[in-house]
Amino acid sequence: MNDPAATSPRSGHDPTQMRLQGIDGRVAMITGARGGIGRRVVETLDALGARTVGCDLAGDAIPGSLAIDMDVTDIDSVDSAFRRTEAELGPVELLVTCAGVFREVPLDQLPTEEWHRTLDVNLTGTFLCVRRALDGMRAARAGRIITLSSGAGLDGGAEACSHYAASKGGVIAFTKGVANEYAMYGITANIVTPRAIRTSMIAGMEDALTELIPIGRLGEPDDVAAAVAFLCSSHASFTTGEVHVLNGGWW
């Protein structure tokens, strides 16, 4: 018998209705908060009681307790965002890095500047935010770090995205290293790797991608937000260094 939820064009669930412990009252910073996934993560954690800080370029358009204009590739901008958060809400206890860029370009046509830009935002931006968050987390001997990678970081992706795959594969390896290095301080670090999520990044490819997904639908930002919320919660206290794949059974 077919599962209606599996064949529905939408995920059919609202992660804000989850009963999760360990999120209420926590200071949660989310980068890339203007994007489809980042915005939904902000809304979900906010609804679960976190004091959310949404960070992105043009931060005034972001929901949450606090919205900050931040460039993840600029060390001074990152530090300024953390200092403002600490002054107004307290140290960051939950960090979710959603900031990312992607543009299809065949490798033999890829400008060097595009390579650097992709790694600067996707990988170096993750590094700068995680490193800064560790200051408060180490002092508290607690913290949750969730980085957003991509299925491309595991299998190289489709055509014309070698640069993107490299940056996202780096995010996975980096986060695993953080998990190993800082577990002794009560800090967990995990990776969520979405694929074929209904956002502007896959505009125009929805039908073709759906045909590749055994579960019969695209992923939704809610699916990603639910996974992130679980990893932020106390229910995931024994989970670190793990890659959580969200692809509807693609592979």
Pick from 2, 3, 16, 7: nearest CA to 228: 16
Any idea which residues carry the catalytic annotation? 164
Q: What is the pairing mode between strands 143-148 and 27-31?
A: unpaired
Burial 38-65 (b: 16+ CB within 10 A, else e): bbbbbbbbbbbebbbbbbbeebeebebb
Cα separation, 248 vs 251, in Å, equals 8
Cα separation, 145 vs 20, in Å, equals 17
3-state class of 150 per DSSP? Answer: coil
Encoded tokens for 248:
């509807």
Longest Cα separation, the chain = 56
3-state class of 28 per DSSP? Answer: strand
